[in-house]
Amino acid sequence: MSLNHHLSALRFHIQSTPATFSPRLGTVTLCRLAEDISIDLQTPGLITSTSRGVVPHLSSDHVRVSDAVRWIHVPFESFLELSPPLPTLHPGPYPSHACLGLRPNRHVLTMSLRDPADDRDMPPNGNDFVSALCLRGVRKVTPNEWRDYTLSAQPDVLVALSDVPLTSGPHSQKRITKSIERSASWLANLLRPLPGRHVSAGAASHLLNVLVHMAGGIAPKARQAFSRSLLEPLFDKEAEAIRPLNNLDQGVAGYTFDLAPLRKSLSPDAPRPAPTGGLGAGIDPFSVPPAPSVTAQIISLIRTSLEPLPATKPRVVHSAGSPHEILALIRDIGIDLFDAHWAQRAADVGVALDFVFPAPADISGPAPREIGHNFYDERYSHDFSPFADALRSCTADQLDERPPCTCMACAPSRPSEPLKHSRVDEAPPLHAPVPYTRAYVHHLLHTHEMSAHTLLALHNLAVLDTFFAGVRRVLSERPAALSQEIRQFEQTYDGKLGVLAEAKKAWTEVNLARGKGRLAREREREKQRQRQDTLGTAVELN
């Protein structure tokens, strides 16, 4: 057990004193007490998602220069393949930062056991373990193991184990009761004081920044019961264990909500792709975009959870599915942080996001417009404009009033100093940066070049970051106009996200066609398509 735990305190400051459910402007500050470093992040804002511990498609040098990537969420489960797990191996301070190429003075790192976006069917959890998934199969992780892992891995913020039933539903009342009891008791276990550390009066009673996932599934009563259990004073042995805390909520730095399992329970009939690896697949968010009715139900469930709790702690949502859903969650609840999972997934399938908040007033072309471009589409093959219309690239006129896109694709910056390998190397001539074009990415996608996804991931994260900055500006300058601006946004941009479904299909086609003989296969498919067109039928390729 590591005793040189580096102290980082998570603070949250809300400007103005809002009601329990109103949009709010805030600042999350992570103070690294030993180094006198503090990282300020404005909310509402974004959290970057990772896969196997890394931001998909972004090598460490790209993560470092990306302004949008400041708060990173790392699911721990992939590391269970190795014992002891990778983030616990690195020597020195901030082992998780070190092993993932992140910088303690720039990046806030949150860790949860499971990937919050993964809603695939799983074997059941037990009274004393959560079933987690890694490449080598399902692993049982006990609350004690989770505590030990996180004490060694030292993420800045960690999510307590939560019993989210991912067996195929519906879930009985007994199962839901178990779920909230286990989640509360696992949280209590995590909040025990650190070993070898005296708790002096007045000092922080526990040294971990713990987020709690709000349990109870889609049963409002259960959600309510769970929230209340956080506030109940504890007695006897239970109280002794978490001393000097009086109740669990005192040890909690914020609340998280995983929408993927909620959506799965709320839409039992949603189509799911074929199971892979023996597990039932989750809902594909691109073929089933977040329906406003489902979002409304989710909002009501989240409000039930938050109702009794203090409004002063940050609220985190994982796997919101669209900017529309994000706006609704900000407006109707006052959610502070959202992961960028859907925007990063859009980069995976070749979509460059193109939207701003507030939506531009002068709309040309048919409304509502798509929230992005499917660069697989032939229409981009000769399009040499920058990725986005709603944002300006680095070569745009300075009088251009569109917000700038500062991503490495729209405003590529030269490497500060290219490496030199010999005394006769000469510094390369200077060139003004030129944004990457749609035609280039179209080409990269069709030739299955990975760089396409790097550029798109950098871009999409920046677009989402700029979107949140726009939300914050409205909240700060004219808060009363937020609802009107959201309505305007909903009218301007299509919430059905057709572009994502279309791109996913194109991505699948290119992926299936690749390899030797690919051009011949494409030719054959083109012929088939023509034949089908004449018959007036079209077969969906998935």
Partner 1 sequence: MQFEVLATCHTTRARASRMKLAHGVTPLPTFMPVATQAAIKGLTPQQVEGLGVTLILNNTYHLNLRPGIKVLLEAGGAHKFQGWNHNLLTVCDSGGFQLVSLNKFTTITEEGALFSSPFTGEPTMLTPEESISIQHAIGADIIMQLDDVVSSLTVGPRVGDAMRRSIRWLDRCIAFHEKSGKSDIQNLFAIVQGGLDSVLRDECLNEMTKRHDQVAGYAIGGLSGGEEKDIFWRMIGQCTEKLPTDKPRYSMGIGFAEDLLVCVALGVDMADCVFPTRTARFGVALTFNGPLNLKLAKHAKDAKPIDSTCPCPTCSDGVSRATLHHIATHETVAAHAITLHNLAFQAQVMGQARDSIMGGTFPKYLRRFFADYFGNAGYPEWCVNALQSVGVDLLEGNPHAKVVKGDGVKWEYSDAA
Binding region for partner 1 (CB under 8 A): 51-62, 64, 78-79, 81-82, 86, 89-91, 98-101, 135, 381-382, 384, 408, 412-415, 418-426, 428-429, 431, 434, 436-437, 439-440, 442-444, 446-447, 449-451, 453-455, 519-520, 523
Task: Give the per-residue SS3 of 204-233.
Answer: CCCCCCEEEECCCCCCHHHHHHHHHHHHCC
Contact 128, 180 (CB under 8 A): no
CB of 431 to partner 1, least distance (A): 4
Read off the DSSP letter of residue 485. H
Closer Cβ to partner 1, 11 or 90, answer by number:
90
CB of 415 to partner 1, least distance (A): 3
CB of 120 to partner 1, least distance (A): 17
Closer Cβ to partner 1, 237 or 421, answer by number:
421
Contact 226, 183 (CB under 8 A): yes
Alpha carbon of residue 80 to chain centroid = 21
**CA separation for the pair 23, 331 (Å, rounded):** 5
Q: Tokens in use for 491?
A: 């009218």
Contact 331, 474 (CB under 8 A): no
CB of 426 to partner 1, least distance (A): 5
- Report the residue count for the chain: 542
Closer Cβ to partner 1, 306 or 452, answer by number:
452
Backbone angles phi and psi of 511, in degrees to 5: -65, -40
Q: Tokens in use for 68?
A: 């949008």
Closer Cβ to partner 1, 366 or 428, answer by number:
428
How many other β-carbons are positioned within 10 Å of the β-carbon of residue 488?
17
Task: Give the per-residue SS3 of 389-404.
Answer: CCCECCCCCCCCCCCE
Closer Cβ to partner 1, 79 or 342, answer by number:
79
**CA separation for the pair 280, 166 (Å, rounded):** 10
CB of 111 to partner 1, least distance (A): 15
CB of 422 to partner 1, least distance (A): 4
Radius of gyration in angstroms for the set of CA atoms belonging to the chain, rounded to a whole number: 24
Backbone angles phi and psi of 409, in degrees to 5: -90, -40
How many other β-carbons are positioned within 10 Å of the β-carbon of residue 79?
24
Dihedral of CA atoms 12, 18, 21, 23 in degrees, nearest 10, equals -70
**CA separation for the pair 503, 375 (Å, rounded):** 8
Closer Cβ to partner 1, 187 or 455, answer by number:
455
**CA separation for the pair 195, 4 (Å, rounded):** 11
CB of 138 to partner 1, least distance (A): 18
CB of 447 to partner 1, least distance (A): 4
CB of 453 to partner 1, least distance (A): 7
Closer Cβ to partner 1, 102 or 328, answer by number:
102
CB of 192 to partner 1, least distance (A): 29
Closer Cβ to partner 1, 52 or 228, answer by number:
52
Contact 281, 120 (CB under 8 A): yes
Contact 507, 378 (CB under 8 A): no
Closest Cα to residue 335, out of 316, 309, 318? 316
CB of 445 to partner 1, least distance (A): 11
Backbone angles phi and psi of 370, in degrees to 5: -75, 155
CB of 134 to partner 1, least distance (A): 10
Partner residues linked to 12 by β-bridges: 28
Closer Cβ to partner 1, 61 or 400, answer by number:
61
Closest Cα to residue 81, out of 135, 40, 15? 135
Closer Cβ to partner 1, 146 or 440, answer by number:
440
Closer Cβ to partner 1, 51 or 144, answer by number:
51
Closer Cβ to partner 1, 13 or 420, answer by number:
420
Going by their DSSP bridges, the two strands 71-75 and 108-112 should be labelled as parallel
